[in-house]
Amino acid sequence: MQTIVTLVATQLLKWQRILLQYFVLCLVLYHPLFAAGNTAPPAYIVDHSRSPHARLRPLPLEAVEWTTGFWADRYRQLCEVTLDESWRRLADPEQGHVLDNFRFAAKPGSGAYAGTTWQDEWLYKWIEAAACVWRMNHDPTLARRMDEAIALIAAAQQPDGYLSTLPLASQKPRFQNAQDHEIYNMGHLLTAGVIHQRMTGKDSLLNVARRVGDFLCANLGVTVKPYMAHNPSAIMGLVELSRLTGEAKYLACAQFIVDKRGSEPRRQPLWAMQPGIDGTDLIQDRVPVRSSREIVGHNVFFTYLYTGAADLCAERDDAKLAEALDGLWTDLTARKMFVHGGVSAHPITLSHSAPAVEAAGAPYELPNSDCYNETCGQIGVFMWGYRMLVHQPDAAFADIMEREMFNGFLPCLGLDGRSWFYRAVLRRYDENYQSKGWNDMAQRGAPGRKEICCPSNLLRTMAQLTAYFYSRDEEGLWVHQYGGNKVTCRLNDTETFALEQITDYPWSGEVKLVIRQAPAKPVAVRLRAPGWAAKADVAVNGKPVSKPKVEHGYLVLGQVWQPGDVITLSLPCNAQLITADPRVEATRNQVAVMRGPVLYCVESPDLPAGIRVPEVYLPKDIQLEPIQGLFSATTALGSKVVSLRGQALRLPEAPWTGLYRPLGQESFQPLELRLIPYFAWANRGRSAMSVWMPVGLGTR
């Protein structure tokens, strides 16, 4: 009997080893991260890991994992709702048209192209977002959809590498009109191919992207005029393709686009106002980039151009280009940026005597109701700021990035995860406002709205957000942003440093950083002291650090850490009244409210019946207390926000009998005021809203 039992046990162990070997073999053969020829490099979003002129190094996407809190909630919604909703819309032949356009491009004459000229990039950005989410959760549905999309993209690509569905599906000649966005679309394909390969290990989209890159290298400046890259997403894509493949020609092509911009200003038949005007501020084509001193033109064109130029500065020693970018950044943030991070004042304007659309205004020209502030422009500033930060580390860049995160582009995504804004205005007095063109929609999901470039751009940015929270250098870890997460940083091939952020930021200024793993040597932890905070107190294991070392806006804590050590950062999170430079005429004698990094607004659903938004005045000594929840919240996310409550003033409309009257006839009345985060407005139906409110002239 014992012999039989021993024999059976031996056979079971044998089969167990066989099954285990079979499992490992299947994993090696079929899993994308192990498949032959498809070994994934570190999953960087922007790969400065070997850039000779970048002072900070990136962390792979999977190095940071959301845990609980503000951004964890938004990321969870992205995975569960927004990513699927975006796919549904782009795949819808009646609404999105995107997949059908690729089918028609692969078989010209099989159907009619529909949608905008820049429609292709919606799919490319969706793939970026999906690949990043897949890296974290390995969702088979995402993998299947990405493979389906990539097959359509590859089928539409031409033998010479060209790919833009509008000319192909419509059977029209290439490069007849810069507004067809051919190079813009291909630029986003370059980035998507790189990101997809880094996240999945597959070369399927990268192979398409390399052929696109080869096409641009061979034709841009030869058969294709440089100004066709007027919406310059290709610069970032080419630089990242060069970083991944090691091929210098892609970097040279990116350099060519930057060098040519403004170096040979061409006459603009579409935009020129009068004979003799060459070049245009619309596409920053009037002055060479290295000689540029002011922000002009289209918000996406200039942010993408300068983001790409900053990428070049990380790869090549170009002091003049770096100096120009410093001056342009200062011009933007000190004279042309809205309080929430918006960067385009006008739907249409004149700039140096020539028209410019969706553009920055003159210095301090920052209107509230009719500002443009396209979401993609705010995202462009976020990307540009990150490149500036890694090139010359300073908390001021991370401060602007934070402003964009909470107030610049987040407001453009509804609390339901299914609706979007195209523009981020700062005031709407008429809750029944209707679109008057320029994709201007006051309420989320309003009929007729074009939901193409900005929702897809917001989608990929939210999916990649952890990549911007930290950097590393030879001394240790830089903490740029705050939120509940775990981070694991490889200091070198053998040493790892890991910590966890435990915080209710931005609702609380208390951030606890618990060391989870550390080497037996000193490691520097640099914590950004936000510019909005009057002070930043720090303690280690409960003991206050009386005079912490501060470098470029970062608190520096360097020591040998032990697992379980706790760093506590305390930031005062009181509501503050914010004023603008008096040269900003649109906001004179008005204030905005910020609590921590979050901008607030008054919205009509929170006012008593019969009181309108223009009637609200704020005393300069108003005391605002935080209260939990969005009033009348209909979503779980709404219940988690922090609103504000305080005694304000009301100026009744009734006494007004004409447009003007003498000063001194005001009759203020007390008003119980509620303010909500600006990112949460327009989630309870049509509403009026204002960020800026006049300061009361009377007493409470």
Model confidence pLDDT, tens digit, residues 490-529: 998 889 999 999 999 999 999 999 999 999 999 999 999 9
Provide DSSP, 387-439: HHHHHS--HHHHHHHHHIIIIIIGGGB-TTSS-B-SB--SEES-TT----STT
pLDDT tier at 65, thresholds 50, 70, 90 = very high
Model confidence pLDDT, tens digit, residues 127-186: 999 999 999 999 999 999 999 999 999 999 999 999 999 999 999 999 999 999 999 999
d(CA 439, CA 461): 21
pLDDT tier at 3, thresholds 50, 70, 90 = low
pLDDT of residue 594: 98
Per-residue 3-state assignment (H helix, E strand, C coil) for 540-604: ECCEECCCCEEECCEEEEEEECCCCCEEEEECCCCEEEECCCCCCHHHCCEEEEEECCEEEEEEH
Is the pLDDT at 24 greater than 80? The verdict is: no
CA terminus-to-terminus distance, the chain: 97
Query: For the chain, what is the mean pLDDT?
Result: 89
Is the pLDDT at 271 greater than 90? The verdict is: no
Task: Sketch the domain layout of the chain as residue ranges.
Answer: 61-268+288-428+441-467, 469-570, 575-694
Model confidence pLDDT, tens digit, residues 604-616: 999 999 899 999 9
Q: What percent of the chain has pLDDT over 70?
A: 88
Burial tier of 225 (Cβ tally within 10 Å: 0-12, 13-18, 19+)? middle
Is the pLDDT at 627 greater than 90? The verdict is: yes
- Name which of 27-31, 65-69, 350-354, 694-698 the model is least confident about: 27-31
d(CA 638, CA 646): 20
The b-or-e profile of 662-698 (16+ CB within 10 A means b, else e) is eeeeeebeebebbbbbbbbbbbbebbbbbbbbbebee
pLDDT of residue 135: 98
Is residue 61 within 8 A of residue 466, CB to CB? The reply is yes
Model confidence pLDDT, tens digit, residues 560-596: 999 999 999 999 999 999 999 999 999 999 999 999 9
Is the pLDDT at 343 greater than 80? The verdict is: yes
Question: For the chain, what's the residue count?
Answer: 700
Considering the entire predicted model, what is its pTM? 0.92
Minimal CA–CA distance to 296: which of 264, 261, 336? Answer: 336
Model confidence pLDDT, tens digit, residues 420-441: 888 999 999 887 655 443 344 4
469-570 folds as Immunoglobulin-like (2.60.40)
- Name which of 85-89, 371-375, 435-439, 660-664 the model is least confident about: 435-439
Find residue 642's DSSP bridge partners.
628
The token duo for 462 is 């939210």
For range 322-335, the mean pLDDT: 98
**β-strands 522-528, 476-479 pairing:** parallel
Q: What percent of the chain has pLDDT over 90?
A: 79
- Enclosing H/E stretch for 513: strand 510-517
- CA 72, 76, 81: angle at the middle one, nearest 5? 150
pLDDT of residue 144: 98
The b-or-e profile of 310-340 (16+ CB within 10 A means b, else e) is bbbbbbeebeebbebbeebbebbbebbbbbb
Q: Evaluate whether 61-268+288-428+441-467 and 469-570 have a shared fold.
A: no
pLDDT of residue 10: 53
pLDDT of residue 22: 42
Find residue 675's DSSP bridge partners.
644
- Enclosing H/E stretch for 503: strand 496-503
The token duo for 557 is 């804590």
Is the pLDDT at 676 greater than 60? The verdict is: yes
pLDDT tier at 634, thresholds 50, 70, 90 = low
Q: Biggest alpha carbon distance in the chain?
A: 111
pLDDT of residue 268: 53
Residue 417 φ/ψ region, left for φ over 0, alpha for ψ in the -120 to 50 degree band, beta for the rest: left
pLDDT of residue 630: 87
Q: Coil, strand or helix: which one is 372?
A: coil
The token duo for 196 is 């997809």
pLDDT of residue 292: 97
d(CA 193, CA 215): 15
The residues, ordered by sequence, that sit 6+ positions from 329 with a Cβ below 8 Å of its Cβ are 306, 384, 385, 388
CATH of region 61-268+288-428+441-467, choose from 3.10.110.10, 3.30.10.20, 2.60.120.650, 1.50.10.10: 1.50.10.10
Sequence letter at residue 241: L
